[in-house]
């Protein structure tokens, strides 16, 4: 099995010039996404709420930025590579498949049983070879490593600094496009999104408080954050599939311990309420992980009065039947 990790030192900070260079490359293949303040959302939260619309990327989620940067760098550094293997619940796989198509790779994507039907279809439409294996993401990841070894393909990472650098560009856009934020809420799956936000904040020299958000049905990062050691935990969340992590990444944890103020847990019911609120207030379709930050802000509503708050709408890839059920409930 070849390694797909391009950058080795996970503690290396990014300079603003490095983040701008990453953004310049990414913008060859996609446009920046907007950040807006919405009056109904702000009224609901009791503060000035700004939303970063990563549901407007070419794959409907923020991770495509990391996929583009990863595939481009891998092609430069390993020009003979034929393809790679990745494990995912959907958005990571779509991002890598998108990048692979741009730079001439053949991606093999491993997902667990019961994965989003529409995310699976999207990955295949982007040219990915889909393998369904495992009861959860961790089992899919372990099987993906086995496939990479057997086929002599590169094992694409779910977290590394190249991915972080790529996705940090959405935070760079938001911090520059919105007035200075007091606090920003970011959902945590494997950690690239929240680490990207911290990287952009630090590179710009801002003092914005970063709050991580985990599902109460996938609390491993929250538990590990509080105990200050890596701890695994079973996954039970149904709606927040993009946050369904059983075992945190050590490198992500090291960065989170350094730069996240606190981690908030949200239940599936709270996430579904946030999905409904997004649709009612701004008429956006939001997947569970994309609504988790807003759900956490609602839990902390009292402490946000008078503040300017950033919400990362990290993706809108929710199956139609699932979204119809969520909207039908109250």
Domain spans in the chain, listed from the N-terminal domain onward: 15-62+161-328, 64-155
What six digits make up the tokens of 138? 């961790």
Is residue 111 left, alpha or beta, with left meaning phi > 0 and alpha meaning psi from -120 to 50?
beta
pLDDT tens digits, one per residue of 244-283: 999 999 999 999 999 999 999 999 999 999 999 999 999 9
More confident residue, 80 or 227: 227
Say what the pTM is. 0.93
Q: What is the CATH code of the structural domain delimited by 15-62+161-328? A: 3.40.50.1100
Distance CA 234, CA 237 (A): 10
pLDDT tens digits, one per residue of 132-147: 999 999 999 999 999 9
pLDDT tens digits, one per residue of 316-325: 999 999 999 9
- pLDDT over 80 at 70, yes or no: yes
The mean pLDDT of 83-95, rounded to a whole number, is 94
**Structure-token match 């002599």, residue found:** 152
Q: Do domains 15-62+161-328 and 64-155 have the same CATH topology?
A: yes
| pLDDT of amino acid 236 | 96
- pLDDT over 90 at 195, yes or no: yes
Evaluate whether the domain defined by 64-155 bears CATH number 3.30.428.10: no
Q: Which segments within the chain are labelled E, that is strand? A: 2-3, 35-37, 48-53, 83-87, 106-111, 129-132, 154-155, 183-187, 209-215, 262-266, 308-313
């Amino acid at each position: 099995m070849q390694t797909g990790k391009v950058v080795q030192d996970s503690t290396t900070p990014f300079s603003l010039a490095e983040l701008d260079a990453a953004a310049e490359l990414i913008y060859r293949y996609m446009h920046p996404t907007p950040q807006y303040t919405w009056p109904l959302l702000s009224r609901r939260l009791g503060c000035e709420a700004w939303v970063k619309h990563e549901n407007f990327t070419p794959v409907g989620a923020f991770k495509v930025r990391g996929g583009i940067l990863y595939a481009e760098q891998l092609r430069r550094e390993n020009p003979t590579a034929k393809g790679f293997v990745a494990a995912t619940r959907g958005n990571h796989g779509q991002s890598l498949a998108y990048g692979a198509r741009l730079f001439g790779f053949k991606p093999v994507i491993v997902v667990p049983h019961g994965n989003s039907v529409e995310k699976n279809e999207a990955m295949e439409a982007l040219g990915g070879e889909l393998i369904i294996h495992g009861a959860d993401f961790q089992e899919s990841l372990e099987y993906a490593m086995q496939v990479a070894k057997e086929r002599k393909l590169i094992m694409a990472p779910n977290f590394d600094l190249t991915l972080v650098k790529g996705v940090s560009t959405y935070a760079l856009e938001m911090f520059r496009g919105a007035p200075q934020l007091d606090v920003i809420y970011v959902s945590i799956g494997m950690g690239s999104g929240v680490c990207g936000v911290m990287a952009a904040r630090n590179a710009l020299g801002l003092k914005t408080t970063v709050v991580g958000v985990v599902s109460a049905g996938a609390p491993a990062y929250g538990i590990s954050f509080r105990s200050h050691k890596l701890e695994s935990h079973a996954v039970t969340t149904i709606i927040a599939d993009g946050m369904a992590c059983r075992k945190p990444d050590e490198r992500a944890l090291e960065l989170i311990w350094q730069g996240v103020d606190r981690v908030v847990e949200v239940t599936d019911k709270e996430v579904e309420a946030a999905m409904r609120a997004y649709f009612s207030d701004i008429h956006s379709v939001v997947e569970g992980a994309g609504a988790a930050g807003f759900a956490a802000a609602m839990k902390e509503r009292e402490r946000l009065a008078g503040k300017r708050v950033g919400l990362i709408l990290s993706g809108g890839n929710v199956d139609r039947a699932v979204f119809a059920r969520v909207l039908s409930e109250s």
